[in-house]
């Protein structure tokens, strides 16, 4: 079972000392049978007045920091080591009723899945629905995995990855119409498309592990992808940015109905708008055996 170490440092710089409001930190990987957190260390400068951990409505671990001193620098350094055991990507057989689409969710599960099946973003002209239906065979039924796999790889192959400096995630129609976006944009597009097909999907944020290649130490980044719920198979990962199916190289941190509920680091400062000078983020995800300078 591979062990990976995550080094994540975010630094905010200001032109003059400012006060800080509450900050919510969502960086701790989400434990499960395929992912186990062995150690975790969060260091914050200046030291917060209080730091407490909670589980949010989805069961994600969230640290909440409050401050009582001013500073021209605020830094968060998170280091964690995990055991990562990628799960089987797709476990359904032709005997399972969800093997082919369309299928129906069990009446006992449906109430808990309703919010993950219901679309949350507008599609006034039906563009998103029409795009989702392109992945269905002309004659039903369509193998469910074929829909999910082709949509995952279709986004990776047809869309252009584009970094954006704006905060948040763009509307799925903007991603569809421009043919571009970030990993969070791609994930939301796929989620909303699947919901229009009646398939339960939710947003996942976490880290991407980039394995070492030859003399290269490897690397990593924060990342976002999709989980789809299928009866008898459970939640399965699909990464439309990299065309990954299953949990290979994906370290789950948080799951949510909407990207706005899974922001890795969020907070405020009290001071003039022009005091903020910028933010620096450094992330490495490496094999735990490698020695990395922090």
Q: What is the pLDDT of residue 215?
A: 38
Query: pTM, whole model, 2 decimals?
Result: 0.93
Q: Mind listing the pLDDT tens digit for each residue in 143-202?
A: 999 999 999 999 999 999 987 666 789 999 999 999 999 999 999 999 999 999 999 999
Q: What is the mean pLDDT of residues 248-259?
A: 96
Q: Say whether pLDDT at 258 is over 70.
A: yes
Distance CA 283, CA 51 (A): 23
Distance CA 266, CA 87 (A): 31
Contacts within 8 Å (CB) and 24+ apart, 120-127: 120/192, 120/195, 120/257, 120/258, 121/171, 121/172, 121/173, 121/188, 121/192, 122/173, 123/172, 123/173, 123/192, 123/196, 127/173, 127/176, 127/177
- Confidence label for 213 from pLDDT (cuts 50, 70 and 90): low
Percent of the chain clearing pLDDT 70 (strictly above) = 93
Q: What is the pLDDT of residue 165?
A: 61
Q: Mind listing the pLDDT tens digit for each residue in 69-116?
A: 999 999 999 999 999 988 766 678 888 999 999 999 999 999 999 999
- Confidence label for 293 from pLDDT (cuts 50, 70 and 90): very low
Q: What is the mean pLDDT of residues 254-283?
A: 95
Q: What is the pLDDT of residue 52?
A: 98
> Can you list the domains of the chain with their CATH numbers?
3-85+262-287 (2.60.40.2250), 100-260 (3.10.620.30)
């Amino acid at each position: 079972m591979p062990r990976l170490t995550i080094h994540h440092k975010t630094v905010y710089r200001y032109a003059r000392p400012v006060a800080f409001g509450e900050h919510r930190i969502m960086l701790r990987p989400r434990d499960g049978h395929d992912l186990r957190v062995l150690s975790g260390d969060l260091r914050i400068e200046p030291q917060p007045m209080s730091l407490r951990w909670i589980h949010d409505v989805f069961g994600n671990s969230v640290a909440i920091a409050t401050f009582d001193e001013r500073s021209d620098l605020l830094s968060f350094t998170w280091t964690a080591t995990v055991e990562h055991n990628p799960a089987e990507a797709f476990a359904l057989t032709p005997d399972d009723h969800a093997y082919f689409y369309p299928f129906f969710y069990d009446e006992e599960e449906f109430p808990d899945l309703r919010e993950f099946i219901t679309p949350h973003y507008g599609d006034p002209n039906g563009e998103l629905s029409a795009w989702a239906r392109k992945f269905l065979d002309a004659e039903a039924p369509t193998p469910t995995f074929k829909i999910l796999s082709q949509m995952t790889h279709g986004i990776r192959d047809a869309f252009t990855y584009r970094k954006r400096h704006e905060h948040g995630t763009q509307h799925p129609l903007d991603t569809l119409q421009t043919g571009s976006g970030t990993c969070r944009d791609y994930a939301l597009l796929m989620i909303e498309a699947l919901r229009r097909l009646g398939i339960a999907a939710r947003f996942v944020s976490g880290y991407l592990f980039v394995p070492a290649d030859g003399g290269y130490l490897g690397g990593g980044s924060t990342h976002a992808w999709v989980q789809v719920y299928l009866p008898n198979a459970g939640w399965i990962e699909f990464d439309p940015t990299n065309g990954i199916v299953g949990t290979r190289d994906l370290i789950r941190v948080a799951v949510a109905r909407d990207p706005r509920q899974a922001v890795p680091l969020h907070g405020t400062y009290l001071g003039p708008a022009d005091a903020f000078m910028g933010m620096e983020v450094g992330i490495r995800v490496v094999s735990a055996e490698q020695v990395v300078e922090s």
